[in-house]
Amino acid sequence: MNSTERELLQLIEKNGRLETATIAKLMGISVDETTRMLEKLEKEKVILGYSAIIDWTKGTEDGAVTAMIDVKVTPKRGVGFDKVAERIYRFPEVKAVYLMSGVYDLSVSIEGKTMAEVGRFVSEKLSTIDSVISTTTHFILKKYKHDGLVFSDNDEDKRIVVSP
Amino acid sequence: MITEPTSKYLSNTVQSIQPSGIRRFFDLASSMENVISLGVGEPDFVTPWNVIEASYHSLEQGYTAYTANAGLFELRKEISRYMKRRFGVAYSAEDEMVVTVGASQAIDLALRAVLNPGEEVIVVEPSFVSYAPTVTLAGGVPVPVNTYSEDDFKLQPEQIEAAVTEKTKVLMLCSPNNPTGTVLSKRDLEKIAEVVEKHDLLVISDEIYAELTYDEPYTSFPAVKNMRDRTILISGFSKAFAMTGWRLGFACGPKTILQAMLKIHQYTMMCAPTMAQHAALEALVNGQKDVVKMKESYRQRRSLVIHALEEMGLSCHVPGGAFYVFPSIEKTGLSSEEFAEQLLMKEQVAVVPGSVFGESGEGHVRCSYATSVQKLEEAMRRIERFLKTL
Ligand SMILES: Cc1ncc(COP(=O)(O)O)c(C=O)c1O
């Protein structure tokens, strides 16, 4: 990855909705070049997708619950961590899976409508997988910051309108 | 002119100074709704958290008393290291440095320490609005030297020659410049240095924007051959570290002059705010990565704005530093003041008329690009629409 690509990635990582023309101007390159670079990075799966960061606690009654589950696994011959992880991440309710160092092996984050729903998933789907030895479920009570964004930020411009 | 009866108490010097033209625009823009301001002369970033946190911590630890007059010794040592590392100039933390209430106070101290009544100071215009009045308040006489867009607003050495009289003592330099964004290269500075040496001038070099240069490596004036001992270097934390409200700056220079400045500082200020000094210490020790990030973001926005101005046919030299562009609006036939006022009234975009920065700023407006990309794009659309109505 070269420095121009890195600059582009940093721009859209902060704001995935930046228009190509704006990116081009910010970087001082042509729109064509920007488009080509985006296509290349998408094709190489460096850019995996574009999504919005949403505060679901606002404006909806049907809130969601998120749980982070520490999963201990015994990898068996021919079934390494990757295979176990795959069995887990294929479930659509699983938002993230990471292989961890430390006292447990996989960190799984799950989103459901209610605690009961998440509980059902853990007891019926997750803990029944052969290689899974144990699970510890933590429910998220409140999100303060997610993916670098502070949820309650007061980011209005506090500067005086005209200054020397 | 002030006419109330109490005006008889005012000093003639103070009465001779006009309030800044910026003030009027501030009042006008403040009274309006939905204004996008490109008139702000400060970063749009909040101070990096580690810096704020360091200040909290110092308060929690009870550092609420005065510091040494010259500033916390730890901070001065860091400033000394920083100046060496970033700009290749060595200053002793013991006696060649004073920590001040913003670069603003450092400029005031410098001028008051060196000027006798009637001595002249060459002020390169368009310039930061405070220079000329501060010279006047220090008893000196500001002598404006105009720079022009044809020269990318660079001071030409012959112009210094032409302005020098037997009363000239000081040349005020500012690179990168507010409002033009112009950066003087090493070669430019060397040519200026020759004239400075020839006429035995003292230079006050305001390098508050030194970290914010985008094209060439920066040369600090005291780093130019033979200039260190005839330069008072002014800098501070406001711009590079996004710390305008903390009011913290510093001056470095030859011992005799710095000790004279310290004497004034001692009697008139005691010391710079302690909690801000602790913040500044953290900024110097752990702040460079944030400076780099912010600078990168300004560079991108500079590119955006220059592009947009070009597209709408407003010619603009590419400023090498700070966060200002200074396009010519001459072809509109409006004065800079009329342009700024009409733009504000019709499209609610605030820019600063070039004339407030000196006579040679006429025909231009200062636009700060230290504002979000979204607002910049909207402002550019509005300016373009405004131009079409003329
Ligand atoms: C060229 C220049 N010098 C000095 C200052 C004052 O800086 P400080 O906040 O450190 O007093 C400014 C602020 O706008 C400036 O533009």
Chain A residue numbers with beta carbons less than 8 Å from the beta carbon of B303 are 25-28
CATH assignment at residue A85: 3.30.70.920
Residues B109, B194: Cα–Cα separation, whole Å: 26
Whether A154 is in a domain gets the answer no
CATH assignment at residue B309: 3.90.1150.10
Question: What's the mean pLDDT in A49-72?
Answer: 85
Same domain, B228 and B315: no
Identify the closest residue of chain A to B308 by CA–CA distance: A25
Same domain, A87 and A126: yes
The per-residue pLDDT for A55 is 85
CATH assignment at residue B215: 3.40.640.10
| Cβ–Cβ below 8 Å for A163 and B128 | no
| Cβ–Cβ below 8 Å for B307 and A159 | no
Same domain, A31 and A74: no
Identify the closest residue of chain B to A7 by CA–CA distance: B296
Whether B2 is in a domain gets the answer no
CATH assignment at residue A9: 1.10.10
| Cβ–Cβ below 8 Å for A164 and B44 | no
Same domain, B239 and B320: no
Ligand 1 atom nearest to CA at B107: 4
| Cβ–Cβ below 8 Å for B29 and A162 | yes
Give φ, ψ of B180 to 5 degrees.
-85, -20
Which of A27, A161, A162 is closest, CB to CB, to B300?
Answer: A27
B5 cis-preceded (ω within 30 degrees of 0): no
Residue among B207, B208, B247 whose CB has most ligand 1 atoms within 8 A, to mutate = B208
Alpha helices in chain B (DSSP H): 12-16, 21-30, 49-60, 73-87, 102-114, 131-137, 157-163, 186-198, 255-268, 274-286, 288-311, 336-347, 373-388
Q: Does B141 touch chain A (CB under 8 A)?
A: no
Residue B18's domain comprises: 8-47+289-388
Ligand 1 atom nearest to CA at B41: 14
Same domain, A86 and A132: yes
| Cβ–Cβ below 8 Å for B303 and A11 | no
Does A9 have pLDDT greater than 90?
A: yes
Same domain, B199 and B328: no
DSSP A130: T
Same domain, A79 and A129: yes
Residue A7's domain comprises: 3-43
The per-residue pLDDT for A78 is 75
Same domain, B215 and B76: yes
Would you write out chain B's pLDDT as a tens digit for each of its 390 residues?
A: 556 789 899 999 999 998 888 888 889 899 999 999 999 999 999 999 999 999 999 999 999 999 999 999 999 999 999 999 999 999 999 999 999 999 999 999 999 999 999 999 999 999 999 999 999 999 999 999 999 999 999 999 999 999 999 999 999 999 999 999 999 999 999 999 999 999 999 999 999 999 999 999 999 999 999 999 999 999 999 999 999 999 999 999 999 999 999 999 999 999 999 999 999 999 999 999 999 999 999 999 999 999 999 999 998 899 999 999 999 999 999 999 999 999 999 999 999 999 999 999 999 999 999 999 999 999 999 999 999 999
Residues B98, B253: Cα–Cα separation, whole Å: 9
Number of domains making up chain A: 2
How far B122 CA sits from the closest chain A CA (Å)? 20
Q: How many CB atoms lie within 10 A of CB B104?
A: 20
Residues B14, B16: Cα–Cα separation, whole Å: 5
B353 cis-preceded (ω within 30 degrees of 0): no
Residue type, B307: H
Number of domains making up chain B: 2
| Cβ–Cβ below 8 Å for B42 and A11 | no
The per-residue pLDDT for B266 is 97
Same domain, B180 and B225: yes
Whether A54 is in a domain gets the answer no
Whether A161 is in a domain gets the answer no
Q: How many CB atoms lie within 10 A of CB A52?
A: 6
Q: Does B17 touch chain A (CB under 8 A)?
A: no
Which of A27, A28, A164 is closest, CB to CB, to B22?
Answer: A164
Q: What is the ipTM of this complex?
A: 0.87
Residue type, A43: K
Q: Quick one: which of B76, B106, B149, B71 has its CA closest to B261? A: B106
Whether B283 is in a domain gets the answer yes
Tell me the C-alpha to C-alpha distance, in Å, between residue B101 and each of B189, B266, B318: 28, 12, 32
Which of B26, B373, B377 is closest, CB to CB, to A162?
Answer: B26
Q: Quick one: which of B284, B279, B287, B245 has its CA closest to B57? A: B279
Residue B274 corresponds to which tokens in the numbers above? 């302690």
Whether A85 is in a domain gets the answer yes
How far B351 CA sits from the closest chain A CA (Å)? 8
Residue linked to tokens 């040349």: B171
Contact, B269 vs B256, CB < 8 A? no
Strand partners, A76: A79
Give φ, ψ of A158 to 5 degrees.
-100, 10
Same domain, B174 and B317: no
